[in-house]
Amino acid sequence: MIKNSPSLGEGVASDFAENQAIVFSMYFKSRNAQPFTMKRRIKGIAAAIAAFSVLAVGSPIVASAQSAGVPNAVDITNQIRNDTWKARNDLHKEAEKLDPNSAQKAKELVDGAANAVAPGIVDEKNKEAQEAKDRAEAERLAKERENFDYGSCPPTAAACVDLTKQRTWLQKNGKVFGPARDMSSGAVGWETPKGTHRVVRKVKNEVSRPFNNAPMPYSVYFTNNGIAFHEGNPNLWSHGCVHLRHDDAVQYFDELQVGDVVYVY
């Protein structure tokens, strides 16, 4: 009886699996083992990625197309790119076992090899991942806006301050703009005044003269007696102002304009 010879895909898959095992055993030895040079390690990782392109040619989808006598170039290309990306991610995980500097160099070489096998694959996949992340964040924010607790803040306000929950937010066209921010308001005896106010002036590099020139970066005053939004520690009570973290203070300074309504309740 004549036995069937192994298919091209089976042979390549076997060779690749053996080659990958050798590469990994060489590349990722423990620090106590005899070390290989970085150059040799990098060559090993690059070879593993390149070998995957050969493996892809013998993959089931290619074999199916070949046996049918009608190769589908699009399917073959997609399979090669998908397999290359999987191999790239597997090698990145292995590279994480190295020291940070070596890991970064290894990842760069892996990405270069992956791009050689499947041109543009790294940028393409990273873009897809970022777009998926952006969509998820947009959906989260949309849901948050839909269920947002506006308290008694009117749609006409550009900024709202909730003293009870120690939060503040910006509004555009009557809808919350961005997330609610943590803040701190005036301590007992220095309470932040409630009610409807308007932005009266803005000073980027402000200091508090009544309090020994304490820094008040990105001040947005909304009363005529020194009450403002400004950068400060939201974990510390103020002398009446609204403390914001740096990034929030910068955004409030940029977004709020003289005449805008600030509502405190």
Which residues participate in catalysis according to the annotation? 230, 241
* Higher per-residue confidence, 12 vs 98: 98
Token couple for 109: 């070489």
Please give the Cα distance from 171 to 175 (Å, whole number). 5
Residues whose CB falls within 8 Å of the CB of residue 145, separated by 6 or more in sequence, listed in order: 175, 176
pTM listed for this prediction: 0.55
For the stretch 79-138, pLDDT in tens is 889 999 999 999 999 899 989 998 999 899 999 999 998 999 999 999 999 999 999 999
For the stretch 216-247, pLDDT in tens is 999 999 999 999 999 999 999 999 999 999 99
The DSSP code sequence of 112-163 is: HHHHHHSTTHHHHHHHHHHHHHHHHHHHHHHHHHHT---TT--TT-SEEEET
* Higher per-residue confidence, 29 vs 37: 37
Residue 88, classed as helix, strand or coil, is helix
- Across the range 67-73, mean pLDDT stands at 61
Nearest to 220 by CA among 206, 209, 233, 237: 206
Domains annotated on the chain, with CATH: 8-130 (no CATH), 159-264 (2.40.440.10)
Q: With 90 as the cut, is the pLDDT of residue 57 above it?
A: no
